[in-house]
Structure 1
């Protein structure tokens, strides 16, 4: 039987394992999720296996991304856990000579099955962001930018211009969507 500290370490390893995505280590990335795991982020919603395929396509494009992951805050109830982690998404499109940094929080549901913790659902709540200009200012289409909440507009803009458009609005700090994510997660944790 695992102790709380062993459970917490295993969960933390799942969260910091996101480096496998940035390094294109797809098998290791797949190992972070249960087979029925899902993800909802700016450019992809659905089964985790589809996210890996999309990430492969993104890796072959002009868009580069990196995630700086903070220390997770973990709530455990039996074989279920809610994990909230500060992160910074750094992205750039080398063809556009444009980048961005967006601060977000990954909001994960993790579950222990057969003694092993894995992620069941990953969502993201976006806090703030801005553009970066590797070689100096470039023109930004204000009409495209205005379609998105300011908290993640730079990332959404870069994704859209790189061929990875967004299909809906996502949670931002203090939004109704964030409240709904939290309420649903607490109900799931208590079940």
Structure 2
């Protein structure tokens, strides 16, 4: 495979393994990798062995990805990967599903013979929350959504309802200057200008 095909397979595997295979997931990353998501930011270990408060162990998280856009320069690349994630959970006694749309920004490197992930950052784009069973009513007071960021308002709502916490300063498309900064830093890293 050429570098583009290897990088494409790497980020696709990472998303597939995220839900099913912890050992294989770890192998997609370098041991010193960092990961920033909605529920944690830090070392690879915190990403591999933690879960957000709203995750209900009775339900499997599933998702889909779009084709990645790869920006490569030699042995470094950053990858933009649009994703959609679905999680089922109970909200106010109603079986619901949240769908979250995100863009993942990976920094990948070829340090020896293989491409692996050096870091991953999640950018929130939008989300929806709805009852799973047709005809079921999910009542949410619109006042409870006031002040929640539009790029991840329902994720914030369900995490707080589950007793967890979520930062109001996560990356999101509703703050384009912060997103532009991430892209600029990624490009500088690829160009070895960091």
TM range, smaller chain? 0.7 to 0.9
Q: Which moved more, 1:63-72 or 1:178-187?
A: 63-72
Find out whether 1:84 has 2:85 as its counterpart. no
Q: Per-residue CA shift, 1:62-111, capped at 9, x if unaligned?
A: 56422211111001111110100111111121465222112111111111
Alignment-derived partner of residue 154 in structure 2: 154
Structure-2-length-normalised TM-score: 0.85
Paired with 2:118 and 2:141, the residues of 1 have a C-alpha distance of: 37
Alignment-derived partner of residue 180 in structure 2: 179
Paired with 2:128 and 2:77, the residues of 1 have a C-alpha distance of: 32
Paired with 2:120 and 2:112, the residues of 1 have a C-alpha distance of: 21
For the Cα contact (< 8 Å) 2:63–2:84, is it kept in 1? yes
Q: Which segments of 5 or more consecutive residues in structure 1 lack a partner in the other structure?
A: none
State the number of aligned residues.
Answer: 186
**2:139 counterpart SS class:** coil
For the Cα contact (< 8 Å) 1:71–1:85, is it kept in 2? yes
Q: CA RMSD in A?
A: 2.3
Which of 97, 101, 104 is the aligned partner of 2:102? 104
Paired with 2:111 and 2:144, the residues of 1 have a C-alpha distance of: 43
Shift of 1:55: 3.6
Q: Per-residue CA shift, 1:144-172, capped at 9, x if unaligned?
A: 53342112111222233334421342222
